[in-house]
Amino acid sequence: MRARCKQCENHALHLRDVCEEHIDDLESWSAEVLEDVRANGAHDKNLSGVEWAALDLTDINLEFAILIRANLRECVLRGANISRAGLSNADLTNADMTNAILQMINARRLKASGACLDGARLNGATLANADLSGASLINSELVGTNLRGANLREANLSGAQLLRASFDGSDRTDAILDDGEVDRANENSLSSKKSPPGLGSVPPSQMDWPDPPEDDATS
Ligand SMILES: [Zn+2]
């Protein structure tokens, strides 16, 4: 079972015995875990609240990382693999995620205003209530993506693949996208609850607070 913070009931951070609320060396921890992730990957590591703003993280592998409330503002994440990561409430404002792989991420209430997601793969991602205002999603893949309640004001979705994406309650004021495509995507998302082909279902560990299974082989 995942370790708990020594001062409260929250989950402990990767490489620390305290949670994000009780860490007193956030800056050095953030640098330390970045080095560890670059060397060993990020699978199931609790990096909640990490401070990596404005770093060049081109091609980094953050697959399955727990990045809730992480500060990734203005990061360069071109070509990064962030699939299946937990990114609820994370801050990716103005980040460059060109051609990044973000399939099946759980990113409710993600802040990604002004971000570049051109050519990014977001199939099966949960972006409910995310702020994508002014974001560029040109030629991105949004197959089966949940964009319910998302802020898409002035976002550019030209050439995006929207099959079975859901847009209920989203704000698309001045967004660049084909409304006919949105209607068809919404209809298909209602008539089909299936995941996009080849993606399988969202891993239960990433559904909300990603609590890994008790028999986790890494512990
Ligand atoms: Zn704590």
For the chain, the three-class secondary structure string (H helix, E strand, C coil) is CCCECCCCCCECCCCCCCCCCCCCCHHHHHHHHHHHHHHHCCCCCECCCCECCCCECCCCECCCCECCCCECCCCECCCCECCCCECCCCECCCCECCCCECCCCECCCCECCCCECCCCECCCCECCCCECCCCECCCCECCCCECCCCECCCCECCCCECCCCECCCCECCCCECCHHHHHHHHHHHHHCCCCCCCCCCCCHHHCCCCCCCCCCCCC
**Mean pLDDT to the nearest integer, 164-187:** 91
Q: Which residue has the tokens 């953050």?
A: 62
**Amino acid letter for position 29:** W
Residue 137 lies in a domain: yes
* Measured distance CA(140)–CA(124) in Å, rounded: 13
Contact 34, 54 (CB under 8 A): no
Please report which confidence band the pLDDT of residue 197 belongs to, taking 50, 70 and 90 as the band edges.
low
Give 130-150 pLDDT, tens digit per residue: 999 999 999 999 999 999 999
More confident residue, 186 or 71: 71
Predicted TM-score (pTM) of this structure: 0.88
Domain with 163 in it:
47-206
Please report which confidence band the pLDDT of residue 181 belongs to, taking 50, 70 and 90 as the band edges.
confident
Strand partners, 81: 61, 101
Distance 32 CA to ligand 1 centre (A): 19
Query: Residue 151 CA to chain centroid, in angstroms?
Result: 15
Tell me what pLDDT residue 7 has: 97
Residue 78 lies in a domain: yes
Distance 3 CA to ligand 1 centre (A): 11
Can you give the CATH number for the domain in which 93 is found? 2.160.20.80
Q: Is the pLDDT of residue 81 over 70?
A: yes
φ/ψ (deg, to 5) at 131: -95, 105
Residue 139 lies in a domain: yes
Q: Is the pLDDT of residue 89 over 50?
A: yes
Distance 164 CA to ligand 1 centre (A): 40
**Mean pLDDT to the nearest integer, 143-159:** 97
The upper half-sphere exposure of residue 101, i.e. CA atoms within 13 Å in the direction of its Cβ, equals: 12
**Mean pLDDT to the nearest integer, 153-169:** 96
Tell me what pLDDT residue 5 has: 97
Residue 21 lies in a domain: no
Residue 14 lies in a domain: no
Residue 22 lies in a domain: no
Residue 26 lies in a domain: no
In the chain, the number of structural domains is 1
Distance 15 CA to ligand 1 centre (A): 14
Q: Is the pLDDT of residue 48 over 60?
A: yes
Q: What is the mean pLDDT of the chain?
A: 90
Please report which confidence band the pLDDT of residue 182 belongs to, taking 50, 70 and 90 as the band edges.
confident
Contact 97, 78 (CB under 8 A): yes
Distance 25 CA to ligand 1 centre (A): 13
Distance 170 CA to ligand 1 centre (A): 35
Q: Is the pLDDT of residue 208 over 70?
A: no
Tell me what pLDDT residue 39 has: 97
Residue 120 lies in a domain: yes
Distance 35 CA to ligand 1 centre (A): 23
Distance 82 CA to ligand 1 centre (A): 26
Distance 60 CA to ligand 1 centre (A): 28
Please report which confidence band the pLDDT of residue 207 belongs to, taking 50, 70 and 90 as the band edges.
very low
Tell me what pLDDT residue 193 has: 55
Distance 90 CA to ligand 1 centre (A): 19
